[in-house]
Amino acid sequence: MVLSIRKKIAFGFILIIILTVLFLEAIIINIVRNNYYNNLEANLHNQLKVSCELYSRYFSDASLQDNVLNNVDTFWKQTNAQVQIIDTDGRVLMDSIGYMPKEDERLPDVEEALEKGKGTWTGKVTYDKNGIMAVSRTLHSNEETAGVLRFISSLRVVNEDVKAVSRLFIIIGFVVTVASVILSFFLSNTIINPLKKVTNVAARMASGDFQVRSKKVYNDEIGRLSDTLNYMADEIEKRDKLKNDFISSISHELRTPLTSIKGWAITLMEVGQENRQCAAGYEKDEQGSMQADMGNSDALNHIQDDSCVDAQNDVQDTQNDGQDDRELFETGLDIIEKECDRLTAMVEELLDFSRLVSDKLSIRKELVQLEEFVDTVGRQLAPRAAREGLHFSVEVEGELPDIVTDGNRLKQVIINVLDNAFRFTPANGKVFFNVTTSGGEVIFSIVDTGCGIPADEMPYIKEKFFKGKKSKLGNGIGLSICDEIIRLMNGSFSLYSTEGKGTKVVIRIPAVSDGEVT
């Protein structure tokens, strides 16, 4: 049988309450019983002490046996307890109710009194099914022990009082248990009902409804669970929006070069077709003119000069048209090539992203000469900086070592960061590329004086698909790929920015000079 959480909590509460009540009842009843017994013992001892003092003061001159034979009862008559007078050998000389114990019957309290001066014993006897409490005290005559005076009280009244009090506590415990059980169901509802609501919200989210939110009732674990669930829904919605924006962006990015390629392909095809049609029409006209001129021999000499002039003009026009067509073809093919390069770069970036999300992005280690690497990057981007009116400087501090890492991946990261710096830095702005070594690390610093990144976008800047408000181009996966590449190199990728002042990217990788080259 599968129990619901409500029943588990309720049954758990009930079990704990019952065990607690039983435990407390046992302790309380035992305390009450001991208290009643202690009071009875104290009363008996007080009475016994008074009787012993009376005996010592007024009856100690005669022997104990003489006092018993003369039926002297003045010193013990004031008590309602059963009284026994016992000699030093443990023989009962007198019993107020006429009970004479057997010779082998032990009297623990008497033995204790003979040894210590007084004693107490509680137990069962044959003549009282309720049990008795016996207290004993030595009698003295001429500073010697003459015998033992023993007071015995039945426990019937005390036990009845204890039972009455116990019944009262049991009733109270039962009432407390019932009230606690009812309260436990109420308390379980205060836990289960919010949990049910959270479960229903989670089920709706699992079905795809991320607009629903969990209402926080209490500021406890379930309340924090509601906050976590709502935060998860917000993040899923945010990431879903980023994914949709990414799909829209990448579709646009792919469509633009494809449209350009297709447009130029159609243009070049039309130009080629027009040239073929013109060439075919020109040949046909030439053949018709020659046949007509040969049929009229008298006019042949007359038009020869005019035909030469027209032919020269046609050749000149054809050369001019051919020159224009070649320029058009070269321009179109150049654009097609550049757009193909753009497509290739985007496909490579998408492949890197696919490897990133599937944890298959790998590093191929090779020996990289850092000085040559930095020089290559600087010379590659210098023309672009000049073209865009940016002040681009490359600085190397100290001697750079040769390291073992993935040079292509490292270059991909540096180029990506510098590309962002160029795109977000206005004309006459500055971009600095600094490389140094410190503490066994190679440190690449890229600083620009561009527009910077808003503070509210900084926590998400390296997340997949994220595009800032100022980002018009790109697909939002470049920095996430860069961060993962540097992580695979056992390095760190840090980004600092102040809106309106610029951005600084610091990349640190281990300056490993030896290792397995793949």
Q: Which two tokens stand for residue 494?
A: 């840090």
Indicate the residue type of 54: L
pLDDT in tens, 281-291: 655 555 555 55
- State the pLDDT at residue 303: 40
Comparing C-alpha atoms, which of 457, 447, 394, 458 is closest to residue 424? Answer: 447
Q: Which two tokens stand for residue 12?
A: 């758990």
* 3-class state of residue 511 by DSSP: coil
Res 342 pLDDT > 80: no
- State the pLDDT at residue 130: 87
The answer to whether the beta carbons of residues 147 and 64 sit under 8 Å apart is yes
Fold of 5-166: Beta-Lactamase (3.30.450)
> Which residue in this structure is represented by tokens 């004309």?
427
pLDDT in tens, 30-42: 999 999 999 999 9
Res 124 pLDDT > 50: yes
Pairwise CA distance, residues 306 & 298, whole Å: 15
493 has which bridge partners? 507
Percent over 90 (pLDDT), the chain: 31
Confidence of residue 258 (pLDDT cuts 50, 70, 90): confident
Confidence of residue 166 (pLDDT cuts 50, 70, 90): very high
Find the mean pLDDT for residues 8-32. 88
Least confident of 304-313, 343-352, 446-455: 304-313
Residue 119 host element (H or E):
strand 118-125
Check residues 434 and 54 and name the one with the higher pLDDT. 434
Long-range Cβ pairs for the range 247-252 (8 Å, 24+): 249/467, 249/474, 249/475, 249/476, 250/346, 250/350, 250/475
Find the mean pLDDT for residues 288-310. 48
**DSSP secondary structure letter of residue 518:** -
SS (H, E, C) 359-403: CCCCCCCEEEEHHHHHHHHHHHHHHHHHHCCCEEEEEECCCCCEE
Res 517 pLDDT > 80: no
Helix, strand, coil shares of the chain, percent, nearest 5, are: 60, 15, 25
Res 120 pLDDT > 80: yes
Average pLDDT value for the chain: 81
Least confident of 128-132, 228-232, 464-468: 464-468
- State the pLDDT at residue 297: 46
Q: Which two tokens stand for residue 453?
A: 């990144």
Confidence of residue 300 (pLDDT cuts 50, 70, 90): very low
Indicate the residue type of 22: L
The answer to whether the beta carbons of residues 291 and 300 sit under 8 Å apart is no
Res 17 pLDDT > 70: yes
Find the mean pLDDT for residues 479-502. 91
Pairwise CA distance, residues 377 & 384, whole Å: 12
Confidence of residue 486 (pLDDT cuts 50, 70, 90): very high
437 has which bridge partners? 442
* CA 295 remoteness from chain centre: 101
**DSSP secondary structure letter of residue 460:** G
Res 105 pLDDT > 70: yes
Check residues 264 and 93 and name the one with the higher pLDDT. 93
Pairwise CA distance, residues 507 & 410, whole Å: 10
Find the mean pLDDT for residues 146-164. 91
- State the pLDDT at residue 323: 60
Domain ranges of the chain: 5-166, 210-290+303-359, 366-510
pLDDT in tens, 502-513: 999 999 999 876
Find the mean pLDDT for residues 408-423. 91
Res 518 pLDDT > 80: no
- State the pLDDT at residue 476: 62
Print burial letters for 448-476: b (CB count within 10 Å at least 16), e (below 16). Answer: bbbbbbeeebeeebbebbbbbeebeebbb
- State the pLDDT at residue 307: 44
The answer to whether the beta carbons of residues 484 and 428 sit under 8 Å apart is no
Res 317 pLDDT > 60: no
Select the CATH number that applies to the domain covering 366-510 from these four: 3.40.50.880, 3.30.565.10, 1.10.10.1200, 2.60.120.10.
3.30.565.10
